[in-house]
Amino acid sequence: MAIFSIDLDVASKKALLQSKNIAKLTNSGVRNAFRKIGQDLVRDAEKQILQRPKHGRLYKIKVNGRSKSHRASAPYEHPANITGKLRKSLGYRVNGSRQMQFGAGNKTDVKYALYLEEGTKKMEARNYLQRTIKENQNNIRDRLNQEIQKVLTTL
């Protein structure tokens, strides 16, 4: 029986160590990308909520004891801003390198955030969170690619 021995040279050992780091670096890049994507989504959703004109019904509301006209959002339009509570409740959470959550109502008690997103029996959905994600799909893909490339170039 012939026995062959293969020994790793210094370059091969270095390559082996680098390959073990690839997974760790990739996870780090994904987490970095998730943080930037979350910031981008929040910023874009805030901008869309503040953007005018809205096309829903016009009605009177009281603000600080004074009557004021307010134009609501139309179905499938980003919600109209009244108090800023919904806008300020927008946020994201990164859970490792596998999941990022983006939504509204997390920071404060904004119970109507889900009703605006999904609708009710009396109100059609606004789908503002889903639409923000959809409108940012290219940005999401680019951010992931950029951040993973950035950490892998450190090898």
- Answer whether residue 70 is part of any domain: yes
Give the pLDDT confidence score for residue 64 in this predicted structure. Answer: 85
In a domain, 4, yes or no: no
Q: Residue 68 has which token pair?
A: 């004021």
- DSSP percent split of the chain into helix, strand, coil, nearest 5: 50, 15, 35
Domain of residue 81: give its range.
24-152
The total of structural domains in the chain comes to 1
At 11-60, the pLDDT tens digits run: 666 666 667 778 888 999 999 999 999 999 999 999 999 999 999 999 99
Q: Give percent above pLDDT 70 in the chain.
A: 86
139 belongs to a structural domain? yes
